[in-house]
Amino acid sequence: MYKQLSYQLLRLFIVILLCTVIFLVFHYTAKFIYPLIIAIMLSLGMHPAVTFLQKRFKFPRIAATLTVIVAAFLTFISFIFFIVNEVINGVISIADKIPGYFTKGTQILDHLTNSYLLPFYQKLASLVHTLDEEQQITIKEKVTDFANNMAVAAAEFLQQLLLSIPAFVSTLPNSVTIIIFIVLASFIITNDWDLLNTKMKSLFPARINSSGQRIMTQLKKATAGYIKAQVTLIFITFIVILVGLIVLQVDHPLTIAFLAACVDLLPYVGTGILFIPWILYLYMTGNFPLTIGLIVIYMIIVILRQILEPKVLASSIGLHPLAALIILFVGVQMLGMLGFLIAPVLLILVNAFYKAEIPQKIWQFIAKG
């Protein structure tokens, strides 16, 4: 009895130690190997298409790989061109209206200054003059200190901003090198997929290979499900905004809806980065009907996103909505914005390991060996 318990504790220790080692290795090497990880993920996505061309149309493997990579590159460039074209058209339209916006903004600022700031300053000045000389000196010192602190903070911010420009420029050659490495690695891995797959399998026992194969299968399904979920959510956001802007008779509804759908992927801010400044400006300029209309559209988007995201992710990836909601919440609470980005990856990994029955096999190893 004690001997069996000792072996179980030993196997538990081995599992914990192995998980710890894997985590530490990944943690300290991720910044060096992430281009290779990206290349492997791209190869996973391209492999089915390359195999289809190879088997269906009798393409040589290298020709099929080149065809898929070029097609993916052209699709990406076309997508970027479409975005740039839409943005340029929208910016040109907005540029024609900028002088009017500035004139209106100046009028609003002048009204705020005359109606609120100057009377407030006069009341504050009269209040200060009623104080004794020592109190007035103290207040002036505090105001001077505040102004100096603000100036120092502004100077430091500007200094850091200027210093960051050379750092950003210096990263550009490195970024180009990384992109070239990813493209070449993706080509090599995809072209030699079968050979590399066979060599990788020869390094591990059949039992591990079997589990690894199941994990990879589930990862493919979960990744495809996650992409489908995000496309669905973005499409819903796009349609809601487009219909709302058309009803409100806003100029360039297609461009605005497209941009809003794209920024919907940003953590925390989402469509708010576009709608909130717009709503504030319309309110300050007195365009209350359009202000109310945009608030309604924005609230509908926020509510739909909060309701549908866990459900859509769960149905697409294969997790229960409650499990998906818990993972998303824990990721955001523990890691903030980074957690918002990592949470979907955790969803995919948890689902893949669960569907591949890895937790059950680990427990079976600990209990029975």
Predicted local confidence at residue 194, as pLDDT: 85
The residue among 172, 306, 173 whose CA lies nearest residue 236 is: 306
Q: Say yes or no: 275 and 309 in one domain.
A: yes
Better-scored residue on pLDDT, 343 or 44: 44
Predicted local confidence at residue 120, as pLDDT: 73
What is the 3-class SS of 264-280, one letter each residue?
Answer: CCCCCCCCHHHHHHHHH
Q: Record the tokens describing residue 130, joined without a space.
A: 């009623």
Which residue's structure tokens are 């300029």? 285
- Rounded CA-CA distance 83/259 in Å is 8
Q: Record the tokens describing residue 196, joined without a space.
A: 């590399």
Q: Record the tokens describing residue 44, joined without a space.
A: 């996973």
Q: Say yes or no: 252 and 296 in one domain.
A: yes
Q: Say yes or no: 157 and 242 in one domain.
A: no
Q: Record the tokens describing residue 67, joined without a space.
A: 């065809």
- Rounded CA-CA distance 274/256 in Å is 9
Q: Could you tell me if residue 99 is inside a domain?
A: no
Boundary of a domain, candidates 144, 172, 203: 203
- Rounded CA-CA distance 309/235 in Å is 13
Which residue's structure tokens are 């819903």? 236
Does pLDDT of 239 surpass 90? yes
Predicted local confidence at residue 161, as pLDDT: 64
Q: Say yes or no: 214 and 196 in one domain.
A: no
Predicted local confidence at residue 244, as pLDDT: 93
Predicted local confidence at residue 189, as pLDDT: 92
Predicted local confidence at residue 118, as pLDDT: 67
Q: Say yes or no: 128 and 56 in one domain.
A: yes
Boundary of a domain, candidates 142, 175, 203: 203
Yes or no: say if 190 and 46 are a contact pair by the CB < 8 Å rule.
yes
Predicted local confidence at residue 245, as pLDDT: 92
Predicted local confidence at residue 299, as pLDDT: 92
Domain that holds residue 251: 207-369
Predicted local confidence at residue 77, as pLDDT: 84
Yes or no: say if 352 and 219 are a contact pair by the CB < 8 Å rule.
yes
One-letter amino acid for residue 246 of the chain: I
Residue 166: pLDDT band (50, 70, 90) is: low
Yes or no: say if 270 and 306 are a contact pair by the CB < 8 Å rule.
no
Better-scored residue on pLDDT, 188 or 6: 188
* C-alpha atoms less than 13 angstroms from C-alpha of 324 in its C-beta half-sphere: 22
What b/e readout covers 65-91, taking b as 16+ CB neighbours within 10 angstroms? bbebbeeeeeeeeeeeeeeeebeeebe
Least confident residue range of 221-230, 255-264, 280-289, 326-335: 326-335
Range 229-254 average pLDDT: 88
Residue pLDDT, tens place only, 53-104: 998 888 899 999 999 999 988 888 887 777 677 666 766 666 666 666 666 6
Boundary of a domain, candidates 203, 225, 257: 203
Does pLDDT of 23 surpass 90? no
Q: Say yes or no: 152 and 289 in one domain.
A: no
- Rounded CA-CA distance 82/68 in Å is 21
Q: Say yes or no: 50 and 76 in one domain.
A: yes
Q: Could you tell me if residue 213 is inside a domain?
A: yes
Q: Say yes or no: 299 and 333 in one domain.
A: yes
Residue pLDDT, tens place only, 142-158: 767 776 777 677 767 76
- Rounded CA-CA distance 261/253 in Å is 12
Which long-range contacts link 92-98 to residues 24+ away (Cβ below 8 Å)?
93/251, 93/252
Residue pLDDT, tens place only, 317-339: 666 666 666 766 776 666 665 56
Better-scored residue on pLDDT, 59 or 201: 59
Sign of CA dihedral 61, 64, 70, 75: negative
Q: Say yes or no: 151 and 188 in one domain.
A: yes
Cα first-last separation, the chain: 15
- Rounded CA-CA distance 306/311 in Å is 9
For the whole model, what pTM was predicted? 0.64
* DSSP alpha helix (H) spans, the chain: 2-56, 61-112, 118-129, 133-191, 193-202, 206-247, 253-263, 272-284, 288-317, 321-335, 337-355, 358-368
Does pLDDT of 1 surpass 60? no
Q: Say yes or no: 199 and 312 in one domain.
A: no
Predicted local confidence at residue 64, as pLDDT: 92
- How many CB atoms sit inside 10 A of residue 17's CB? 10
Residue 283 sits at the vertex; the CA angle it makes with 108 and 261, to the nearest 5 degrees, is 125
Q: Say yes or no: 360 and 221 in one domain.
A: yes
Predicted local confidence at residue 243, as pLDDT: 93
Predicted local confidence at residue 332, as pLDDT: 66
Most trustworthy range by pLDDT among 175-179, 234-238, 277-281: 234-238
Residue pLDDT, tens place only, 33-49: 888 888 888 888 888 89
Better-scored residue on pLDDT, 338 or 245: 245
Say how many domains are in the chain: 2
DSSP 181-193: HHHHHHHHHHHTH
Q: Say yes or no: 264 and 277 in one domain.
A: yes
Q: Record the tokens describing residue 193, joined without a space.
A: 């997929």
Q: What's the mean per-residue pLDDT of the chain?
A: 78
